[in-house]
Amino acid sequence: MMAGTDLKSLIDRLEETQSLTREEWTELIRRRNPETAEYLFERAREVRIRHYGRDIFIRGLIEFTNYCRNDCYYCGIRKSNGKAERYRLTKDQILSCCEQGYRLGFRTFVLQGGEDGWFTDERMADIISEIRSGWPDCAITLSIGERERESYQMFFEAGANRYLLRHETFDHDHYARLHPPGLSAAHRQKCLRDLKEIGYQVGTGFMVGSPYQTPENLADDMIFLKELNPQMVGIGPFIPHHDTPFADREAGTVELTVYMLGLIRLLLPKVLLPSTTALGTISPDGRERGVLAGANVVMPNLSPTQVREKYLLYDNKLCTGDEAAESLKNLDARLKAIGYHITVARGDSLNIS
């Protein structure tokens, strides 16, 4: 099937129509090669420059707790990892992160954490309201996992604008092989629909090269992205963590990750697309390669330095180099070397539909 179909013409059609069939996606992913990839990146860069110029948006990431009630097989801060050194930031510590971030030029704060019961709805809403009144010109992004719709509603009313929740993988069976019983693709996807309906700008995404992942799974992820039409899509390579059930699995590659980034840029031309820390972690030039494949966001770390090395979702996670918020100048210099630059604009998605 599709034996004679030329991959370049599929890429052209993707750019023109922002849509492909499941079979076409699968072929485009399975039969990729360096020449096709280079062509894809050229198209993706052109689309990105048309909508966003050469600007790179920055988000200040505050990893405020690594306690988590979940036990995802891939994740270093899973509940069963007795070796993880747990921490949670106080409200004052979180507010100081915002203060420092604002001074550095950040206009989006991302509160990211494990699913930590200590942060009840009331405590979260209180923190969100304080940030909202202290920094009224900033966007507040939450990345705290699955909650009830009522909780999401409460956080939105307290002043949160955006929510990041990766769907991880669309396929229900694949999802079940990455997560313990009790967690489901269906519930994850319901949360995403709730968030959208409430009015959040939503970010979703998946790991590339996670255990058992097939080209068909990635094809389904692309079709899901098209249907959800999120404002942001975060993807990064799976990287094993030594104290998880997936310790001995192979990591995802830069090569497939940047290829997926290029495809996402053509599928959702105006989407916000981070070049993630995980991508920077598996290769010294990973972050740059992400940008050259169509990414337009970076999320430096604003957490207090002494906790950064504890928020370890995977091995060797970068936390003290140019991905640190204090090093924006270095990051900007690296981006300038490839023809891009950091902007301090809030960077709301143009993908408001």
Nearer to ligand 5AD, 45 or 241 (CB): 241
Is residue 144 at the binding interface for ligand 5AD, with CB under 6 A as the rule?
no
Q: What type of residue is 336?
A: K
| 252: CB partners within 8 A, 6+ apart | 207, 208, 209, 210, 236, 237, 238, 239, 282
Q: How far is the CB of 278 from ligand 5AD (least distance, A)?
A: 5
Q: How far is the CB of 8 from ligand 5AD (least distance, A)?
A: 31
Is residue 167 at the binding interface for ligand 5AD, with CB under 6 A as the rule?
no
- Of 75, 297, 318, 335, the one binding ligand 5AD (CB under 6 A) is 75
Nearest residue to 68 via CA among 84, 53, 52, 92: 84
Helix (H) / strand (E) containing 341: strand 341-343
User: Could you tell me how many residues of this chain bind ligand 5AD (CB under 6 A)?
Assistant: 12
Q: Using CB under 6 A as the criterion, what x/- string covers residues 305-324 for binding ligand 5AD?
A: --------xx----------
Is residue 166 at the binding interface for ligand 5AD, with CB under 6 A as the rule?
yes
Residue nearest to ligand 5AD (CB): 314
Nearer to ligand 5AD, 47 or 239 (CB): 239
Nearer to ligand 5AD, 99 or 250 (CB): 250
Instruction: Please give the Cα distance from 220 to 150 (Å, whole number).
Output: 29
Nearer to ligand 5AD, 139 or 313 (CB): 313
Interaxial angle between packed helices 22-30 and 7-17, expressed in degrees from 0 to 180 and rounded to the nearest 10:
130
φ, ψ of residue 341 in degrees (nearest 5): -155, 155
Is residue 163 at the binding interface for ligand 5AD, with CB under 6 A as the rule?
no
- Of 25, 64, 74, 109, the one binding ligand 5AD (CB under 6 A) is 74
Q: Which stretch binds ligand 5AD (CB under 6 A): 38-46, 91-99, 238-246, 339-347?
A: 238-246
Helix (H) / strand (E) containing 267: helix 254-267
Nearer to ligand 5AD, 15 or 243 (CB): 243
- Of 239, 292, 324, 328, the one binding ligand 5AD (CB under 6 A) is 239
Is residue 241 at the binding interface for ligand 5AD, with CB under 6 A as the rule?
yes
Q: What would the two tokens of residue 114 be?
A: 């494990």
Instruction: Please give the Cα distance from 201 to 283 (Å, whole number).
Output: 30
CA dihedral of 235, 231, 312, 73, whole degrees rounded to 10: -60
Q: How far is the CB of 143 from ligand 5AD (least distance, A)?
A: 7
Nearer to ligand 5AD, 247 or 350 (CB): 247
Nearer to ligand 5AD, 29 or 278 (CB): 278
Handedness of CA 141, 206, 31, 219 (dihedral sign): negative
Pairing of strands 162-164, 139-143: parallel
Edge-to-edge order in the sheet of strand 232-237: 60-65, 108-113, 139-143, 162-164, 201-208, 232-237
Is residue 238 at the binding interface for ligand 5AD, with CB under 6 A as the rule?
yes
Q: How far is the CB of 208 from ligand 5AD (least distance, A)?
A: 9
Helix (H) / strand (E) containing 298: strand 297-298
Instruction: Please give the Cα distance from 207 to 130 (Å, whole number).
Output: 33
- Of 40, 178, 191, 207, the one binding ligand 5AD (CB under 6 A) is 207
- Of 168, 194, 288, 322, the one binding ligand 5AD (CB under 6 A) is 168
Is residue 268 at the binding interface for ligand 5AD, with CB under 6 A as the rule?
no
Instruction: Say if residues 218 and 188 touch (Cβ distance below 8 Å).
Output: no
The contact set with ligand 5AD (CB under 6 A) reads 74-75, 166, 168, 207, 236, 238-239, 241, 278, 313-314
